Amino acid sequence: MSNRCVVLLSGGLDSMLAIRIMQRQGVEVEALNFKTAFTCCQDDSGRAARDLGVRLTVVSQEDDYLDLVRKPRFGYGKGANPCVDCRIYMFEKAKQFMEQVGARFVVSGEVVGQRPMSQKRRDFDIIAHHSGLDDLLLRPLSAKMLPPTLPEREGWVDREQLYDICGRSRKKLIAMAKEFDLPNIPSPSTGCALTEPKFSRKVFDLIELAPTATFWEYDLLSVGRHYRFDKHTKVVVGRKESENIQLQYTHRLPEANSTALLMPDNFAGPTALLLGEPTPQALDYAIALLTRHSNFEETADLEESAAPQIRLSTHDETRTVAACVSEAALAAKTIAAD
Ligand code: SF4
């Protein structure tokens, strides 16, 4: 068996250094990047893999990932981030990948004490154990603070050339990046929307009021302003053209066939998507929100005599309705409270 390992590569500095440490010892590296529906777009794993000269495989979460977001066994961090459960899930995927590519062990750039959740000393043991990797999981940046793993005991890697870094300071890591001649030193970022307070409020709202929500509803959380009408109904209003297009696209998804789409007919304004039962009251609320976020005075194509109209499409029909505002819509606050 060749001396090959799988390294989880997020694109951050820690995982890049973990790869360099393995390469320096002559260990062959297969990089694995794990994406979730909540991974932000500034994922630099592709560039990092190129800089490091390693082959990169990207895997996505499956449907069961939402179970751990809804009910994490080891709890949430400051936001809706179930980091310990999420890392266990990632390392389970890494273990499967390790077996597929004939690697001997898995490596991660985790540093003891660097993050309040998931990188506490105790969390390291929980993650290694529950992922099934146990001592096939090597953390080279903090290895000397941890019991020797199988790769170290077997001599597949030299423990003497591993590190004893702990805590939040990046000083030593940046010094190592220079020593290893890394061309780009990424700034620290979780790259995960679940850690963001505003996004987390929308996630918790969905978990509480739509416990069976699926990925398309979670995907929608990063689009537009979200207003809750009642326990079963909410309205999403686009903030820019790309979001209006995404709301129109979502409305056409087969699994979103209970949504209602509202678009200005003869004036400029945003698109709105109603999720839930399109009762007359809920539709009035959605119409009023769309009207509130429009600016008739700046609309060029509204004839002076024409009343502003909204095109309303449900699963069964398309019709036009009059635009109007209401006190409830004027007073409405988004779920994210922005
Ligand atoms: S920050 Fe997000 S992606 Fe990273 S471990 Fe936590 S939940 Fe998972």
DSSP class per residue in 181-192: T-S--PPP---B
SS3 34: strand
Query: In the predicted model, what is the mean pLDDT of residues 148-162?
Result: 98
Residue 252 has pLDDT above 80, yes or no: yes
Q: Is 244 in the pocket of ligand 1 (CB under 6 A)?
A: no
How long, in residues, is the chain? 338
Q: How far is the CA of 82 from the centre of ligand 1 (A)?
A: 7
Chain CA centroid to CA 147, Å: 32
The residue that leads in pLDDT, 275 or 61, is: 275
Residue 301 has pLDDT above 70, yes or no: no
CB 258 within 8 A of CB 214: no
Q: How many domains does the chain have?
A: 2
CA dihedral sign of residues 277, 280, 285, 290 = positive
Judge if 210 and 290 occupy the same domain. yes
Query: In the predicted model, what is the mean pLDDT of residues 261-276?
Result: 96
Query: In the predicted model, what is the mean pLDDT of residues 162-172?
Result: 93
Q: How far apart are CA 36 and CA 58, in angstroms?
A: 11
Q: Has residue 336 been placed in a domain? A: no
Per the structure, the complete domain to which residue 276 belongs is given by 196-331
pLDDT for 41: 58
Predicted confidence band at 253 (pLDDT cuts at 50, 70, 90)?
A: very high
Final residue belonging to a domain, choices 162, 192, 222: 192
pLDDT for 125: 95
Instruction: Give the helix ranges, DSSP H, for 61-193.
Output: 65-70, 83-101, 121-130, 150-153, 171-179
pLDDT for 189: 72
Q: Is 86 in the pocket of ligand 1 (CB under 6 A)?
A: yes
Contacts 24+ apart (CB under 8 A), 52-56: 52/16, 52/19, 52/20, 52/23, 54/7, 54/9, 54/19, 54/23, 54/29, 54/30, 55/30, 55/31, 56/9, 56/31, 56/32
Q: How far is the CA of 190 from the centre of ligand 1 (A)?
A: 7
Judge if 208 and 141 occupy the same domain. no
Query: In the predicted model, what is the mean pLDDT of residues 148-171?
Result: 96
Strands 318-322 and 309-313: antiparallel
Residue 294 has pLDDT above 60, yes or no: yes
pLDDT for 297: 57
User: Probe ligand 1: pick from 68, 69, 81, max atoms within 8 Å of CB?
Assistant: 81
Judge if 127 and 261 occupy the same domain. no
Query: In the predicted model, what is the mean pLDDT of residues 3-7?
Result: 97
Most distant CA pair in the chain, distance = 84
CA dihedral sign of residues 150, 156, 158, 161 = negative
- What secondary structure letter does DSSP report for 269? -
Residue 63 has pLDDT above 90, yes or no: no
Query: In the predicted model, what is the mean pLDDT of residues 123-144?
Result: 97
Q: How far apart are CA 220 and CA 84, in angstroms?
A: 25
User: Probe ligand 1: pick from 59, 130, 190, max atoms within 8 Å of CB?
Assistant: 190
Final residue belonging to a domain, choices 155, 171, 192: 192
Instruction: Look up the CATH number of the domain holding residue 11.
Output: 3.40.50.620
Q: How far is the CA of 312 from the centre of ligand 1 (A)?
A: 38
pLDDT for 302: 52
- What secondary structure letter does DSSP report for 308? P
Q: Is 275 in the pocket of ligand 1 (CB under 6 A)?
A: no
Q: How far apart are CA 104 and CA 30, in angstroms?
A: 11
Final residue belonging to a domain, choices 192, 210, 240: 192
Query: In the predicted model, what is the mean pLDDT of residues 59-73?
Result: 94
pLDDT for 277: 93
Residue in the block written with tokens 């000393």:
121
Q: How far is the CA of 100 from the centre of ligand 1 (A)?
A: 24
Q: Is 259 in the pocket of ligand 1 (CB under 6 A)?
A: no
Residue in the block written with tokens 């502003």:
308
pTM of the entire predicted model: 0.90
pLDDT digits (tens, 9 = 90+) for 69-127: 999 999 999 999 999 999 999 999 999 999 999 999 999 999 999 876 667 788 999 99
Q: Please identify, by atom number, the ligand 1 atom nearest to the C-alpha of residue 194.
A: 2
Q: Is 195 in the pocket of ligand 1 (CB under 6 A)?
A: yes
